[in-house]
Amino acid sequence: MPSLTQLTELVARDIPNMDLVLSLGVVLTIFGIGGFVSAVHMREKNRERLTTKVRIAFAGLTENAFGALEQLREEINLILPLHDALFDPLTVIAEPSSAIKPAQKSIKLIKERQSISKNLKYLLVSCSIIKYSLLAFPIFCGTATMSYWLNYSDKMQWMTLIVMTAIVATLLVLVFLWFAFLDQRIQQGIEDGVVPETVEIRGTR
C-alpha cells in the first residue's frame, strides 16, 4: 500500500497511471462504503451499551467518593489534635503523609464522577462525526478517482478532491482515537464505580 506522499507523487506525474489509481480508488471507496454501513447505528449501539452502566457507575462513584472522604477525615483526625486538647509539641510535628493516599483517591473518584456522564456525551458525538465522515470519505474518494480517470487534464480539480479525501481520512483517524480514549475513560469509571458488597448505595438505607 503506497503512502500518501507516494500516492500524491504518483498522481501528479505527467503520465497518468490509470489502472493503479482506478484500482486503489475503487478499493478505498468500497472500504469507505462498508465503514459507513457499519457505523450507521454506531451511536445508538453505544448509547444502549453504556447509558445504564454509566448511571450505575455514577451512583457507585458517589458512594465510593464519600467512603474515601470519610477515610480521609479519619486520617486527618489522627493527625490533628483535638480543639480542646492541651498543647503538645509532639502533635505539631505529626507526620501527615498518611493522609496523602486517601486524599488522592478522593480527588480521583470525585473527578471521575464529574466527568463520566460528559465523557458518554462526547463519545456519542464522536460516533456521529465518525458516521458522517465515513459517508463523506467514499464520496470524495470516488469523485477524485473518477475525476482523475475521466478528466486528467484538469489537475486542479482532481488534486483538490484528493486533498479533501486526505483531510477526511485524517479526521476519521483523529476521531477514532478520541472515541477510543473516551471509551477507555468510561470503562475505568465503571470499574471504579463498583461498590463493595458490604457497602450500601447512599440513599438506599
Q: Are 141 and 31 in contact (CB under 8 A)?
A: no
In angstroms, the CA 112 to CA 104 distance is 12
How many domains does the chain contain in total? 1
The CA distance from 38 to 52, in Å, is: 23
pTM here is 0.75
Give the H/E segment covering residue 108: helix 100-150
With 0-12 / 13-18 / 19 or more C-beta atoms within 10 angstroms meaning exposed / middle / buried, residue 149 is middle
pLDDT recorded at residue 204: 46
pLDDT at 4 (0 to 100): 53
Is 58 part of a structural domain of the chain? yes
Cα–Cα distance measured from residue 2 to residue 8, given in angstroms and rounded to the nearest whole number: 10
Whether residue 201 is contained in a domain is answered as no
CB contact set of 180 (below 8 Å; sequence gap of 6+)? none
Chunked into runs of 10 residues, the chain (205 residues) has average pLDDT values of 55 60 81 89 94 94 90 79 57 64 88 94 96 91 83 80 90 95 95 75 48
Give dist(CA 94, CA 80) in Å, integer.
8
Q: How far is CA 53 from CA 11, 94, 135, 202, in A?
A: 49, 43, 30, 17
Q: Is residue 198 part of a domain?
A: no
Per-residue model confidence (pLDDT) at position 179: 96
Give the total residue count for the chain: 205
Is there a domain that residue 176 lies in?
yes
Identity (one letter) of the amino acid at 66? F
Q: Does residue 202 sit within a domain? A: no
Note whether residue 204 is domain-resident: no
Domain that holds residue 180: 4-192
CB count in 10 Å sphere of residue 162: 24
Domain assignment present for residue 157? The answer is: yes
Note whether residue 25 is domain-resident.
yes
